[in-house]
Amino acid sequence: MTEPTPATAPPRTVRQRVVRWIKVVCLGLALGYVGKIAVLMMLENSLVYHPAGPEDWTPPPSSLVQDVELTSAAGDTIHGWWFPLEGSTGALLYFHGNAGNLSARGHWMSVLREQLGQSVLIVDYPGYGKSSGSPNEAGCYAAADAAYDWLTKNQKIPGENILIYGASLGGGIAVDLASRKPHRALILIKTFTSAPDVGQEAYPWLPIRWLMRNRFDSLDKLANCKQPIFIAHGDADRVVPFSHGERLYAAAPGAKKFLRIPGGDHNDSLPGDFFEILKPFLAEATGK
């Protein structure tokens, strides 16, 4: 007795083969898309923060500059430079951008001190320069609080006499601090509405606004910044689009001034008339 011959599967039609191919391609694209999201989520902090350590250090511009060491509520040791100005009754608290460390800004701190007639404190975020730890949003806010407390408690400077200045990433830190602490005025230079907004514009095909952990939601927090606000932004900025500055200005609730920098890119120097515009605004808006 012979065994029965197994039934032969009918050959696939062209339509079935095309459908199968489409499914395979779609699955591959979906896996690739999810993979890209996973990689970006793992690399988020390295994309947001670009710290330089103590090995990449520029000496202070003057022997009068003092090293300051603070401990933040997050447990990080925060290093800063203090640029005192004799006779000054106020101070400017400076938060820098996402690259390098505070030592690269030493000359500009000296310029700010002389032009505005204020002592200046600049601090590094966790993982930057001589500060310990690793950078993240909460750690940056904790560093800002430690710096503010040092000015008000150690230097006995009233909060109402402190100018809060944030450039680029530092703008997100400055807005958060200004939304919670008394201050004289807030100065924002080439900064963003939020970190996810910048990320979404860089990667429009990814759900950055839903997934990004570092938020720096300045646009939302600005409503709580009741003191005068000065905003400067270049209209050719290729890192943080000019529209971010415009939207921040529109959201500012009180006395405010917007400086449009024609042709200004993100890393360009501020225009020569910067202080000629800033100083009268501060004097008129704050009475100091």
Instruction: Give the span between the Cα atoms of 22 and 199, in whole angstroms.
Output: 31
Q: Is 266 a catalytic residue?
A: yes
Instruction: Give the span between the Cα atoms of 142 and 234, in whole angstroms.
Output: 29
3-state secondary structure of 2: coil
Q: Domain ranges in the chain? A: 14-48, 51-286
Find, among 114, 113, 129, the residue nearest to 69 by Cα. Answer: 129
- Of 76, 233, 237, 244, the catalytic one is 237
- Of 119, 131, 168, 179, the catalytic one is 168
- Of 110, 149, 217, 266, the catalytic one is 266
Strand order from edge to edge, sheet including 119-123: 66-71, 77-83, 119-123, 91-95, 162-167, 185-189, 229-234, 256-261
| CATH domain 51-286 topology | Rossmann fold (3.40.50)
**Cβ pair 121, 88 in contact under 8 A:** no
The residues with which 51 forms a beta bridge, in sequence order, are: 100
Q: Is 237 a catalytic residue?
A: yes
Instruction: Give the span between the Cα atoms of 194 and 217, in whole angstroms.
Output: 5
pLDDT in tens, the chain (288 residues): 455 555 555 566 777 777 777 776 666 655 655 555 555 656 677 778 999 999 999 999 999 999 999 999 999 999 999 999 999 999 999 999 999 999 999 999 999 999 999 999 999 999 999 999 999 999 999 999 999 999 999 999 999 999 999 999 999 999 999 999 999 999 999 999 999 999 899 878 677 787 889 999 999 999 999 999 999 999 999 999 999 999 999 999 999 999 999 999 999 999 999 999 999 999 999 998
The residues with which 79 forms a beta bridge, in sequence order, are: 69
